[in-house]
Amino acid sequence: MVKRCACEEEVLQRIRPTPEERMYIHAVAGRLIEAIEESGMAQAMMVGSVARNTFVRGDRDLDIFLLFDPSLSREELVERGLGLARKVAAAFGAPYREKYAEHPYLSVRINALDVDLVPCYAVSHATEIQSAVDRTPFHTRYIQQHIGGLSDDVLLIKQFAKAGGVYGSDHMTEGFSGYLCELLAIYYGGFSPLLEAASRWKPGTIIDIERHAAQSFDDPLVVIDPVDPGRNVAAALSCTRMFEFVELARGYMEDPAEEFFFPPPRKPFSRPDFIEVLARRKTTLLALTFATPDYTPDTVVPQLRKSAQAIRDLLERSEYPVNRSDVCMREDRSMLLFELLTGELPAVRRHFGPPLWAPVNSAKFAAKYLQKDVFSGPYIEGGRYVVEIARPFTRARDLLESPSLLDVSLGRHVRQSMEIGWTVDEGEGCWDDEFASFIGEFLQHSSPLSRIRRR
């Protein structure tokens, strides 16, 4: 019998699904599976946390996989899979949307449940997968066989990670997936043993439950997939999120409290708050906004990050020091936010030429700038030619508004969107109600444990 502290028992009372909730979700799943298999076109299987008995109360997402013969082509899988999924949705009188991962699937709303109907191949082993989703049924079977009496521990781990802002393997979060939480519970033997071990994690920590790793990985945390020796389950976990979890684990072990599972709501960040913070920081805030490319977050977010890094590099090459930058994707618009230690520079800048012990190149450099209008030079400093020339942009904002922004290494779809147009705002002009929470988090950035202790 696992011994838990009082706050963990209280948390479980709040997050453990009720018997009625379980019964209702399984009943809907049973009807869907029956409808799919009666078609004679595919087998059906409930996967995900509901099937594994590891879902938190209120997380009413239901995943039903439609398993087709592996001999089908990808085009046939998509065509037959979506066709069958649409028929099932119509039979339930349910509205649906077509979504895309590696291939299309249907998202259906049935009796207050969000249901994903996902076509996949019924392969005999996870190493024979033809698409990424083919692996999921094997994950479900593995957890069902190994979770034992650790379901409550998984619920605690998930709620702990959610409250700390480190849950979710999407590209925006870069945190812990549900499957990763389940494997950590199995490997360490529960919530408390996991926290004790996590408090000592270092970059490069390796967990291989089945001791069958087929390759090495360079990720901060490596958890070899028990059903696929060539895959790291923690590949999406960033070093930042990993050690935010480590910090939370240490803080909880020192002083267990419900705030680690249910933190008090943050005070909304308002425009007056924004103006006050800007006045105290005395930095230059620049916001670059444009239409969000019409692709999934898993496609767009990495491109936003790549674009922000390329623009940051441009700013720093132009001698505008960047304190921090971040990105935010909304449905219609996206924002790249940069805080500069200074947004204006003098008209003059130093430009270094070759050393004089490279006679040909140094002579060309000197001859070039003798023909140009310069503030000073060419002159020699430390054996190199130096000229003092006019800075192309004395304001960082002008640089970001210039066409030269399209010359940097932007993400492909981001570039296509920005070619249509983008907006640059500075200081108080960066305020945008749609991005208020993002701007507030950016300017008041703290680690998860710092936020808990400060409140």
3-state secondary structure of 334: strand
Q: How far apart are CA 275 and CA 278, in angstroms?
A: 5
Residue 106: its H or E element: strand 104-110
Write the pLDDT tens digit of every residue in 348-388: 999 999 999 999 999 999 999 999 999 999 999 999 999 99
pLDDT at 68 over 90: yes
pLDDT at position 2: 66
45 torsion bin: left (phi>0), alpha (psi -120 to 50), beta (else): beta
CB 66 within 8 A of CB 36: yes
pLDDT of residue 1: 54
In whole angstroms, give the CA distance from residue 139 to residue 130: 16
Tell me what the pLDDT averaged over the chain comes to.
Answer: 95
- State residue 42's pLDDT score: 96
pLDDT > 70 fraction of the chain, expressed in percent and rounded: 99
Q: How many CA atoms lie within 13 A of 111 on its CB side?
A: 11
What pLDDT digit, counting tens, does each position of 386-443 carry?
999 999 999 999 999 999 999 999 999 999 999 999 999 999 999 999 999 999 999 9
Grade residue 3 by pLDDT with cuts at 50, 70 and 90: confident
Q: Six-digit token pair at 161?
A: 């990670």
Q: Kindly list the structural domains of the chain, giving each domain's residue range(s) and its CATH number in brackets, ordered by start.
A: 6-134 (3.30.460.10), 151-260 (1.10.1410.30), 271-344+394-454 (3.30.70.590), 348-390 (3.30.70)
3-state secondary structure of 354: strand
Provide φ and ψ at 12, rounded to 5°.
-60, -35
- Helices 19-38 and 74-91: crossing angle, nearest 10°? 120
| pLDDT above 90: residue 265 | no
What is the arithmetic mean of pLDDT over 433-455? 94
Residues 22-41 pLDDT 10s: 999 999 999 999 999 999 99
Confidence band, pLDDT 50/70/90 cuts, at residue 173 = very high
Residue 112 has pLDDT above 90, yes or no: no
